[in-house]
Amino acid sequence: MMKTLTPTADRDLPTGRHHRRRQHLLAEVATPTASWQASRRLALGAGLAFAVLLVLMVGLPGDRSVAPAAADVDPIDVDGISYIAVTFTAYGEDTSAVEADLIALGLDITIDLVPASPTLVGELVSFDASQPLDGAWDGDYTKDGVLYLPASYGGTMHLRVGRPTEPGEAYVSAADPLAPGEALHCTDLIGMPVAEATLVLTEAGLEPEWRIDDKVIEAPDADTFVEAVASTSPTSVIVWTATRRALTLPDPTCGPS
Amino acid sequence: MTEPTDRQLWAQVAADDSEAFGVVFDRHARPIYNFCFRRCGSWTDAEDLMSIVFLEAWRRRDVGLEADTVLPWLYGIATNVTRNYQRTLRRHRRALNRLSPDVVQADPADHVAERLDDEAAVGRVLTALSNIPSLERDVLALVVWADLTYQQTADALGIPIGTVRSRLNRARSRLGLEIQTNPTRAEGTA
């Protein structure tokens, strides 16, 4: 696996680039107000102006190219910790109204909504944070589609939250397709002979891309079994096959078969 | 003469010493460059992303460095920077225009053909990994590519060590493959 995941050796920067990158970097940081930090402020200002412009455009008749996202944003306490609870009610591309609500509550947070599989809609799929989250955030940030942001957080943060896909769109983030609420829940696909699996996938409306390890194959051998599966869109999955049948345990969320 | 430790250097960096920052760059540019490459699959973009990582590190230079080495923290920044790297590059385009060296003729010593092979190979890995949730992918990248301990990975991502273990386990089962980690390193502390 190590070899599969790390197929290349480390390399140096191309000849002369280390020195030049270093030179440019030091020149950049030596003049913070004139360049790097100033450009961030300018970019932020320009971004806010652009967001306002987008909101205005969305309001114009006949131009609905950037749909607004909407969310309920409420301060709450859970186990003595103060959070801002965010529940998305609409999943447009323009998140500026939600961000403005968060700013009003003291959180400097930007949000992207990314196409995600059903159970990740409304869930936080990744984030960048400028400061440590000092234990208020325990690694599981969402519950039942509600996003809990620590109210005391003083840094900046960029969140990516799952949204439903548009027609033809691929997932940016997908949960285990066999999990409750996902496309292949209770199908017992793992360990299934590929012929039987093909029928299950067809019935579920899913187009498989067959693979052995990281190699895509035209069609699986008839005497192979499903080893693993991952969702790539509402209509497609990657299915890994193996010659040995995987040992599986009954899924307790599926009841007696 | 003894080389200053990262912690000593970072104290100087926190006091706006850009030369000390240059020494940090010399020490850690290469691993960050290679990590960025494995996250994005392009050597050219990896160079820009590496610059953004160091710019971001400079911007956050007042953070107290807990460990003796700054590298895990830089990997944490690199994880954030590379997670949606095309957007990151767009956002930092203006700074990158100032930072990027002029286009130069490729040097035979740069192994251009091998670099293209690298990009194809890493592209295949990234495709395979694109179907696991990004939070799990981040953990996997830090443990496997950056060779961080679980504790260092937890510190880099700002999450509990138990979450590192569970995400790595989930990534392992989703991929249906054995992810080998050195138990001593993986269970060690920073």
The predicted model scores a pTM of 0.49
Residue B182, pLDDT > 80, answer: no
Amino acid at A38: A
From CA A198, how far away is CA A193, in angstroms rounded?
Answer: 9
B83 contacts on A by Cβ (under 8 Å): 126, 128, 160
Of the pLDDT bands very low, low, confident and very high (cuts 50, 70, 90), residue A49 is very low
Q: Do A227 and B176 touch (CB under 8 A)?
A: yes
Contacts with A, B 28-87, CB within 8 Å: 29-31, 33-34, 37-38, 43, 47, 50-51, 54-55, 58-60, 63, 80-81, 83-84, 87
Residue A78, pLDDT > 80, answer: no
Amino acid at A98: V
Half-sphere exposure of A81 (CA within 13 A, CB side): 16
Question: Nearest residue on chain A to B81, judged by CA atoms?
Answer: A128
Of the pLDDT bands very low, low, confident and very high (cuts 50, 70, 90), residue A140 is low
Higher pLDDT among residues B157 and A62, named by residue: B157
A19, A42, A126: best to mutate for the B interface, most B CBs within 10 A: A126
Largest CA distance in chain B: 50
Mean pLDDT value of segment A150-174: 86
Distances (CA, A) of A34 to A26, A27, A40, A89, A184: 13, 11, 11, 41, 55
Q: Do A132 and B158 touch (CB under 8 A)?
A: yes
The answer to whether A13 contacts chain B (CB < 8 Å) is yes
The answer to whether A130 contacts chain B (CB < 8 Å) is yes
From CA A200, how far away is CA A194, in angstroms rounded?
Answer: 10
Of the pLDDT bands very low, low, confident and very high (cuts 50, 70, 90), residue A172 is confident
B19 contacts on A by Cβ (under 8 Å): 26
Contacts with B, A 170-209, CB within 8 Å: 172-176
Which among A5, A17, A173 is the nearest to B134, CB-wise?
Answer: A173
Least Cα separation, residue B116 to chain A (angstroms): 11
The answer to whether B123 contacts chain A (CB < 8 Å) is no
Least Cα separation, residue B58 to chain A (angstroms): 7
From CA B1, how far away is CA A208, in angstroms rounded?
Answer: 61
Of the pLDDT bands very low, low, confident and very high (cuts 50, 70, 90), residue A40 is very low
Amino acid at B61: R
Q: Dihedral of the CA atoms B177, B39, A176, B187 (nearest 10)?
A: 60
Q: Do B179 and A5 touch (CB under 8 A)?
A: yes
Q: Do A10 and B31 touch (CB under 8 A)?
A: yes
From CA B22, how far away is CA B18, in angstroms rounded?
Answer: 6
DSSP calls for chain A: -HHHH--S---PPSTTHHHHHHHHHHHHHHSTTTTHHHHHHHHHHHHHHHHHHHHHHHHSTT--SSPBEEEEEEEEEETTEEEEEEEEEEE-SB-HHHHHHHHHTT-EEEEEEEEB-GGGBTSEEEEEESS--TTTS-S--EETTEEEEETT--SEEEEEEEEPPPTTPPPSB---TTSTTSTTTT---TT-BHHHHHHHHHHTT-EEEEEETTEE-SS--TT-EEEEEEEEETTEEEEEEESSPPP----TTS---
Cβ(B152)–Cβ(B66) under 8 Å? no
pLDDT reported for residue A205: 94
Contacts with B, A 92-121, CB within 8 Å: 112, 120
The strand pairing partners of A74, in sequence order, are A85
B100 contacts on A by Cβ (under 8 Å): 24
User: Which of A48-57, A160-169, B86-95 has maximum average pLDDT?
Assistant: A160-169
pLDDT reported for residue A210: 93
From CA A213, how far away is CA B176, in angstroms rounded?
Answer: 9
Of the pLDDT bands very low, low, confident and very high (cuts 50, 70, 90), residue A38 is very low
B162 contacts on A by Cβ (under 8 Å): 139
pLDDT reported for residue B101: 53
Which among A14, A138, A231 is the nearest to B107, CB-wise?
Answer: A14
Residue B85, pLDDT > 90, answer: no
The answer to whether B27 contacts chain A (CB < 8 Å) is no
Which among A4, A5, A26 is the nearest to B18, CB-wise?
Answer: A26
The strand pairing partners of A129, in sequence order, are A157
Of the pLDDT bands very low, low, confident and very high (cuts 50, 70, 90), residue A24 is confident
Tens of pLDDT, residues A6-15:
667 888 888 7
